[in-house]
Amino acid sequence: MVNAIASHGDEIALSDAQSAGAEDWKLAAKRRAEGVGAAMKELVADIRLLQESCSEAAVRAPVDTWVIPSVTLPGYLEQNETVLFAMLRHVEASQRAQHKMDSSRPARARVTMASAYMNLPNALVERLNDLSERGAQVELITADEQSHGFSGATGVKGIIPGLYEKLLENLVKLLHADVRLRRWRVEDWVFHGKGLWISFPGTNPASEKERRTSSNHEAPLDEGVNVSIVTSSNFGFRSFYRDLEAQVLVLTENAELQERLSQEVARLVGNSNSRTKVDTRTTPTTIVHTILASILQRVL
């Protein structure tokens, strides 16, 4: 997949990039734009051919784990979003089934989503709220103010942490009351985690060590993770509608892998604190952040 995408890009030597002037870049962009339609069609064909070959290879032998690649190429392919929403619909169906089996105390699926730059589209917020209302345990993990990728930046970039705090503040107002927001922080580290982990009721239980590790937090991991999305996407407007993003969907019945995925979630949870609202005292937001958030929400 990397080769398929790279074959449709321009190779620019570092020395050329450093010496190129504005007109050089404009000319290169114009050449790319002129051939973008044909190139995108070829790229889409290459990606689909690759996916078909992967599927054919997987069918030839019984397996306990499936790894399914997908790509989002705005205007041409929306596979990542299709896969993501299909998985969330499956969680919803699972919750409905659990309610039918035991409406008094239905087992709960767990959905954990991590994004370094959290600015979720409305359709995704609505889906997560629906899952929470149906009894699924939904939690979102993002950077603490001090672990943000642009924390401490100067100049125009210094506005970015406050901008994302404002976007997060707006998001919290839209979330169902039971959706848990976590802020990741490790001293002197930057949070750039992204991904999705789903635990369905009745899957392989987490290990005793893992349960002890997560026992001090509000959401102990009692089930193994059997669905995960490994992705370049931050699940935001930019990832959905503007950027080229690649991901793989991991579906597994392998008990060892389920436990390792559960441990991955436990580590994220172990380094994060649960919040019910955004604390703007450490990263104050101003009228400038408010205006920029309303203007730029759909491009970030």
Q: Where residue 219 falls among pLDDT bands split at 50, 70, 90?
A: very low
Average pLDDT over every residue of 247-258:
93
What's the CA gap between 191 and 183, in Å, rounded? 10
Tens digit of each residue's pLDDT (9 = 90 or more) over 132-161? 999 999 999 999 888 888 888 888 788 888
pLDDT on residue 210? 43
What's the CA gap between 258 and 265, in Å, rounded? 11
**110 phi and psi angles, rounded to 5 deg:** -125, 130
What's the CA gap between 298 and 300, in Å, rounded? 6
pTM for this prediction: 0.78
Is 122 exposed, middle or buried (CB count within 10 Å of its CB: 0-12, 13-18, 19+)?
exposed
> With 70 as the cut, is the pLDDT of residue 104 above it?
no
Determine how many CB atoms are found less than 10 A away from the CB of residue 209.
Answer: 11
Whose tokens are 């104050």? That residue is 284
Contact 141/218 with Cβ under 8 angstroms? no
Q: Where residue 207 falls among pLDDT bands split at 50, 70, 90?
A: very low
> With 90 as the cut, is the pLDDT of residue 26 above it?
no
Average pLDDT over every residue of 167-178:
91
Q: What residue type is 18 in one-letter code? A: Q
Q: Which residue has the higher pLDDT, 159 or 181?
A: 181
Contact 198/225 with Cβ under 8 angstroms? yes
What's the CA gap between 11 and 14, in Å, rounded? 10
pLDDT on residue 68? 87
Tens digit of each residue's pLDDT (9 = 90 or more) over 265-279? 999 999 998 765 554
pLDDT on residue 32? 57
Tens digit of each residue's pLDDT (9 = 90 or more) over 35-57? 555 666 676 777 677 667 766 66
If you write DSSP's letter for every residue of the chain in order, what string do you get?
-HHHHHTTS----HHHHHH--HHHHHHHHHHHHHTHHHHHHHHHHHHHHHHHHHHHHHHTS--SEEEEEEEEETTTEEHHHHHHHHHHHHHHHHHHHHHHH-SSS----EEEEE-SS----HHHHHHHHHHHHTT-EEEEEEE-GGGSTTTT--GGGGGHHHHHHHHHHHHHHHS-TTPEEEEE--TT------EEEEE-TTSPPPPHHHHHHTTTSSS---S---EEEEES--SSHHHHHTS-EEEEEEEE--HHHHHHHHHHHHHHHHTEEEESS--TTTS---HHHHHHHHHHGGG-
